[in-house]
Amino acid sequence: MLPRHRIVALACALPLLLTACSSHAEGGATPSASRIVSGTAPTASAAADQVPDEIGGPATASVLTQEVVATGLTTPWAMVTMADGSLLVSERTTAAIKRIRAGVATSLNGPGAEALRAAANTEGAGGLLGIAVLPGDTTYLYAYVTRDDDNAVLRMELHDDLLSQPTVILDGIPSGKDANGGRLAFGPDGFLYIGTGDAGNPDAAANPQSLAGKILRVVARGGAKDGSAAKGNPFGNRVWSLGHHDVEGLTWVADGRMYASERGVETDELNLVVPGGDYGWPASSGLAGLPAGTALGATVDGVTAPIATWDPADATPGGIAATHEGVYVSAIVGDRVWRVPLSAEGTGDPHVLLDGLGSVRSVLAGSDGMLYVLTGNTDGGKAAKGDDRIVRITAG
Residue 31 pLDDT class (50, 70, 90 cuts) = very low
Whether the per-residue pLDDT at 51 is higher than 70: the answer is: no
DSSP-based three-state secondary structure for 12: helix
| DSSP E strand boundaries for 264-358 | 268-273, 299-300, 303-304, 308-310, 317-322, 326-331, 336-341, 351-355
Whether the per-residue pLDDT at 144 is higher than 80: the answer is: yes
Residue 369 pLDDT class (50, 70, 90 cuts) = confident
Q: In sequence order, what are the residues at sequence separation of 6 or more whose Cβ sits closer than 8 angstroms to the Cβ of residue 320?
A: 38, 248, 249, 250, 251, 259, 260, 261, 270, 327, 328, 329, 330, 363
Residue among 134, 173, 71, 82 nearest 368 (CA):
82
Output the pLDDT for position 54. Answer: 86
Phi, psi of 156 (to 5 degrees): -135, 145
Residue among 206, 197, 207 nearest 177 (CA):
197
Output the pLDDT for position 53. Answer: 62
The model's pLDDT over 276-320, given as tens digits with 9 standing for 90+, comes to: 999 999 999 999 999 999 999 999 999 999 999 999 999 999 999
The model's pLDDT over 174-219, given as tens digits with 9 standing for 90+, comes to: 999 999 999 999 999 999 999 999 999 999 999 999 999 999 999 9
Residue 25 pLDDT class (50, 70, 90 cuts) = very low
Q: Are 324 and 10 in contact (CB under 8 A)?
A: yes
Whether the per-residue pLDDT at 43 is higher than 50: the answer is: no
Whether the per-residue pLDDT at 152 is higher than 70: the answer is: yes
C-alpha distance from residue 318 to each of 161, 179, 203, 272, 279 (Å):
27, 12, 23, 16, 18
* pLDDT top residue among 28 and 167: 167
Whether the per-residue pLDDT at 226 is higher than 90: the answer is: yes
pTM: 0.88
Q: Are 159 and 131 in contact (CB under 8 A)?
A: no
Quick one: average pLDDT of 336-360? 97
Architecture per CATH, 36-56+73-326: 6 Propeller (2.120)
C-alpha distance from residue 355 to each of 5, 31, 334, 336 (Å):
29, 26, 9, 4
Whether the per-residue pLDDT at 11 is higher than 50: the answer is: no
Residue 367 pLDDT class (50, 70, 90 cuts) = confident
Q: Where are the domains of the chain?
A: 36-56+73-326
The widest CA-to-CA distance across the chain, in whole angstroms, is 58
The model's pLDDT over 231-268, given as tens digits with 9 standing for 90+, comes to: 999 999 999 999 999 999 999 999 999 999 999 999 99
Whether the per-residue pLDDT at 2 is higher than 60: the answer is: no
Residue 10 pLDDT class (50, 70, 90 cuts) = very low
The sign one gets for the Cα dihedral 193, 196, 202, 203 is negative
Q: Are 128 and 95 in contact (CB under 8 A)?
A: yes
